[in-house]
Structures are given as structure tokens and as C-alpha cells.
Amino acid sequence: MPTTHTLRPVHSLDGLWNFAFLGEIDLAAFTPHAIRFPFEKVPVPSAFDALPAWAGKRGAAVYRTTFTVPPGHPAQLQFGAVSLWSRVYLDGQPLHENACGYAPFRVAVPPAARAERELLVLVDNRFDFERVPMHEHYFDFYQYGGILRSVALHVLPVASPYLEHVLVSPTDHYRAGEIELVLHFGGIKNGEARVALGFDDQPAGTAFLLPVTDGRAVTTVRVPAPRLWSPDAPALHTVRVTLHPAGAGAIVDDMAVRFGLRCIEARDGRLWLNGEMLRLRGYNRHEWHPNFGPCTPTLQMYADIQLLKDLGCNFVRGSHYQQDQRFLGLCDKLGLLVWEENLGWGQRERTFASEKFCHDHRAALEAMLLHSYNHPSVILWGFLNEAGTDADYVRPVFEASAALIRALDPRRPLTYASMFALTDRHYDLADVISLNLYPGWYNCEDHPRPLELIRPHLAACFDHIDRAGFATKPVIVSEIGAEGLYGWHDAHHDFFTEEYQAAYLSEACAAALGHPRCSGIALWHFSDARTYSGCRAMRRPRTYNNKGTFDEYRRPKLAAAAVRAAFRAEG
């Protein structure tokens, strides 16, 4: 884990929990005291509807476990992700609701006189715009239910402050090892905190006082023996922050975080990493495997990164939601650049008019920034894929999102993937312009040779951006692709064959990477993934999005060799 503690006890709650699928219950009438049903044992993390017993089912379910906290101690539950909607009960009392199935969240556990505590998580994977407006049935990826990511219990110090987040940013002097630390505290609002810092294997330095305003303190320091992070040499450092009591006495809390010294910039129409021009070669990737749904084992994540690197990629877009911290940690260590984005897919006016949506989106975006901040692999923040950015109703949410990102992290560029390359009205808000383009796949019914559409369309889009006044912003093709059904070949090399897909991706790579305005390409997509059920799947054979270069079991299609040739020639 990128964040560790040596003083506070941290217990993983992953393992077998009691579980019951409740189906179409009325959530308003639910009370944990009235539960009279047999529990089964189900692992946490899990997507219950990826398991054979509840595959494809929608409804409510409960997960239940117990844990112990020393009497009188406060504690905190840290959830990686619970989908789609959840309510957390502690000892029968509702404590917290969450309505973004991919955002991490924390729940304060108040001190109690007894040690054993009962934790019950009510989850619901039914779509319901009023209750869970961030998730919609029309998203082109299957949305599962359950406690999708790890759960941990942190036992906190009694009646003293503790460290909530430590955010590390390399400054302009990153080559000399200078970093800015923003410390978020629990238990001190305004006042002072005594902290000490230790880097890598070295002991902590002398404790010093920092002013705390609104629960936060900022300081700038130098990392001894600094080494730069880059995809080719992904060197990592650690800082351990120790928190001391105001007077004399032992340390009350500590937190060690891993980070990298690197600088990512969007300027002069290009992307720059550590001062060198950067071109992104990569894929969009869903966190998904047919056997586990979105709860992918670490080994599979590692294998996927190996496949990406073998194709010559330096970049992955975590489409279309916050990534698992394990995946980001692997990208840090193995040197793969990441676009980290908040959940969203094609939302239109009704969504942007919803107060609950605006609130939940903001909370999830903030959680993404706080939890994924220290990953040097993350070079772009993104949000709301393919929203209605050809219209003005998105503006307030887009402006507020950009402002929130810039307030929390002024040093990393932000972007959003637009499906309206020629009519988008909000490019001014992005540091990097990202275009989802499907010439030669969608909307080309009247063209006899659709592959010929790719090059002129890309050129027209790049040209439009410059003419619209955004020549100083880098542009990337954030999606482009075609379906190829694994094992489907025919002499016509027509739509859905592996041959058409391979030719399409070759042409897309050549058109994008051959254009002087292009700062990168993320192909759609890495591996086939389950999507819509029912009639919405008419354009999705097998109810899969089959535009993977690999099928769902990571078997390569012909496209793999085509992309490898294109990317390796660049890299």
C-alpha cells in the first residue's frame, strides 16, 4: 500500500463476511434489527453479481462482520469502493451513505465501552436516479454491486489529533528534491501541530511546529538524495510524518506515504514530463475480468500491465472511474503513466440539473484527488467522460470541477474526454484537450471505404482546435477503436473481423501519431468487457464491448501485432 502506519493499529477486514441477497426490498423499510434470514459466507472484496449464485441480479444485499476496537478508542473504517449505493450501520445505527460506487470513503467509528462491534453494510445495485444519480443504466460497461474494494479498520489515538491525509507535490525545484507537503489532520481545526519528517530509510528529523488552518498545514522540504521518477526509471521515495503531542511525550500518530519526484506540464501545445516532450501511447482499460467482474486480482492487474508494456505503451486511461489503489501502486512501481478519472459516462441535461448528482460528483471527485494524489504515475485528472459538452448546461459543474481540482492540486493538468470534437464549448476549462473519435466505425453508413475517413477526420479536429484559439493546449485522442470479435475472420475483412479491427487501429495510430499536434493516443480499448444487458446490447454482440485488442481472457486479436508495430516504432 502506498500509505502505511507504524503506530496506529490497522486491521484489514477483507475475508469472508456474512452475506444475504435481499432482492427488491423497500430500502426505506429496512432495519438491521429485523434481519431474520440465513446468511451465507461471501468474500470481501467481491461483486456479488459476478458470482454464480447472483449473476446478473439486481437488488439490495447485506454484508455483515464484526471487529474489535479497544474500549474507549475512536476508530475509522476505510472503504475502497462499495457499489452502486451503500449505507453503513455500526452496532445497528446508520452512520454513512455513499452513492458513488467507485469512490473511496471513510466512516468514523465512535468510541464504545465494549470491544466487539458489529458492522453491516447495506448495498444496492439497482439503478435509481433519485438515490444514486451518478450511476445510469445506459453506461457502456456493466455496473456491479457489492463491496468491490478492500475495507480496513484504523484504530485512532484517544483524544488527540491524528493524520488524515498527507499530500506530496514535487515543486518547481523537484530536481533538487523539493516537495510541498499538505497535511490534513483530524482532531485539530486551527492551532499548531508538532511534526517531524523522515525520508526513505533515514530516521525522523527534529520535530517542528506548523500552523494549522482549517485542519490543514503546509510545508516545503527537500528530499535527501533525490532521484527522479519516470516511466523508464520509476524511482520512488517515502516520507514518514510523525505527529507529536503539544508538550513532551510520545508520538501520537504517524503516516508514511510513497511518492515520486517528477514534473508533468501542459504548455506550448504539448505535454512535458521532467522537461522532455511527452507523447502518450496507450489504452483505455476497464478494471474487469469475466470471473471476478470489477474485483480483479492483483496478479491480473500485473499481467495487464505486462501486456500493455509489451505493446509499447507508456500510458493507460482508467476509464471511466477511479482506479483501484493497487493498480495505481503497480503503475507507480512499473512506470506506466495514468489518466485517473471520476465516474461519468455520457450524462446529459437531466443529470446536470440534479442537486444530488452535483453533490455526489463533487464528493467523489474530492475523494479521488485525496486518495490518488501521491501516485507519480497519475499525470492527468479527468472527469465526466462524454458529457453534453456541446451545450452550456454542463458549464457550472465543469467549472466547479476544474476549480476543485486546481484548488487541491494546482500542479497536475486536468482534462475531460469530449465526444464533440468540432462543437465542444468548454475546451477553455481543460489543460489538455481530449477527443473521443470513432471515424470509420460509427456514423459512416454512406461511405464505401470507412478506413479512409480516419486520417482526414483527425486532421480536421486538430485543425479546428487551433482555429478555435486553443493552439497552446496539448491535444490527445482519448478514444478511438473498432469492434473485432475474437476468432472472427472472413475474406471481406469487414466490420467485426479481427482483420478490420487491426487495419483500423494501425490507421488510427498512424493518423494520430503522425500528426504534429497530437500529444498522444489512448486506444479504445484494452480488453473486451461486459456491458449492457437486454436490448441496449443490439450494437454489442455477446453483451460485450468487443473493441478490445485482447479478448476478455486477454487472448490477443490480430490488432495486438498491429498496435505493437505502431507503438514500438514510436517508443
Chain contacts with ligand ADA (rule: CB under 6 A): 140, 320, 385-386, 419, 436, 479, 524, 545, 547
Give the nearest distance from C-beta 419 to ligand ADA in angstroms. 6
Closest approach of Cβ 501 to ligand ADA, in Å? 12
Give the shortest CB-406-to-ligand ADA separation in angstroms. Answer: 24
Q: Please check whether residue 404 is in contact with residue 362, taking contact to mean a CB–CB distance below 8 angstroms.
A: yes
Which is nearer to ligand ADA, 302 or 496 (by Cβ)?
Answer: 496
140 vs 358, 413, 485, CA distance in Å?
Answer: 21, 26, 17
124 vs 140, which CB is nearer to ligand ADA? 140
Task: Give how far the C-alpha of residue 298 lies from the chain's centroid of Cα atoms, to the nearest Å.
Answer: 16
CB of 176 to ligand ADA, least distance (A): 41
Cell 437531466 found at: 350
Nearer to ligand ADA, 259 or 524 (CB): 524
Closest approach of ligand ADA to the CB of residue 435, in Å? 10
Residue-wise DSSP of 493-518: --TBSHHHHHHHHHHHHHHHHTSTTE
CA atoms within 13 A on the CB side of 29: 4
Query: Which C-beta is closer to ligand ADA: that of 194 or that of 285?
Result: 285
The CB-of-490 to ligand ADA minimum distance in angstroms stands at 22
Q: Which is nearer to ligand ADA, 90 or 419 (CB)?
A: 419
CA distance 131 to 99: 7
Q: Pick the closer one to ligand ADA by CB: 208 or 442.
A: 442
Of 352 and 438, nearer to ligand ADA (C-beta) is 438
Q: Which residue is nearest to ligand ADA (CB)?
A: 140
Taking the complex as a whole, how short is the minimal distance between the CB of residue 479 and ligand ADA, in angstroms? 5
Peptide bond preceding 84 in cis form (omega within 30 of 0)? yes
DSSP string, 138-175: TSSS----EE-S-EEEEEPPTTS-EEEEEEEEE-TTGG
C-alpha cell at 242: 510523525
Q: Rounded to whole angstroms, how far apart are CA atoms 338 and 341?
A: 9
Give the span between the Cα atoms of 437 and 523, in whole angstroms. 10
Measured from the CB atom, the residue of 48 and 524 that comes closer to ligand ADA is 524
Minimum Å gap between C-beta 352 and ligand ADA is 18
| Closest approach of ligand ADA to the CB of residue 113, in Å | 50
Q: State which residue, 213 or 533, has the beta carbon closest to ligand ADA.
A: 533
Query: Do residues 223 and 237 make contact, with C-beta atoms less than 8 angstroms apart?
Result: yes
**CA dist., res. 415 & res. 379, Å (int):** 10
C-alpha separations of 361 from 123, 132, 301, 398 in Å:
19, 11, 27, 11
- Phi and psi at 513, nearest 5°, equal -70, -20
Q: Which is nearer to ligand ADA, 121 or 559 (CB)?
A: 559
CB 473 within 8 A of CB 432: yes
Coil vs helix vs strand at 109: strand
Question: Shortest gap between Cβ of 141 and ligand ADA (angstroms)?
Answer: 7
In 3D space, the residue among 130, 113, 119 whose CA is nearest the CA of residue 77 turns out to be: 119
Give min distance, CB of 478 to ligand ADA, in A. 8
Minimum Å distance from CB 547 to ligand ADA? 5
Contact 138, 132 (CB under 8 A): no
Q: Which is nearer to ligand ADA, 140 or 498 (CB)?
A: 140
Q: What does residue 309 show for φ and ψ, rounded to 5 degrees?
A: -65, -35
Residue matched to cell numbers 439490495: 60
Name, in order, each residue with C-beta under 8 angstroms of 17's C-beta and a sequence gap of 6 or more: 41, 42, 43, 44, 63, 64, 65, 147
Name which of 242 and 478 has its Cβ closer to ligand ADA.
Answer: 478
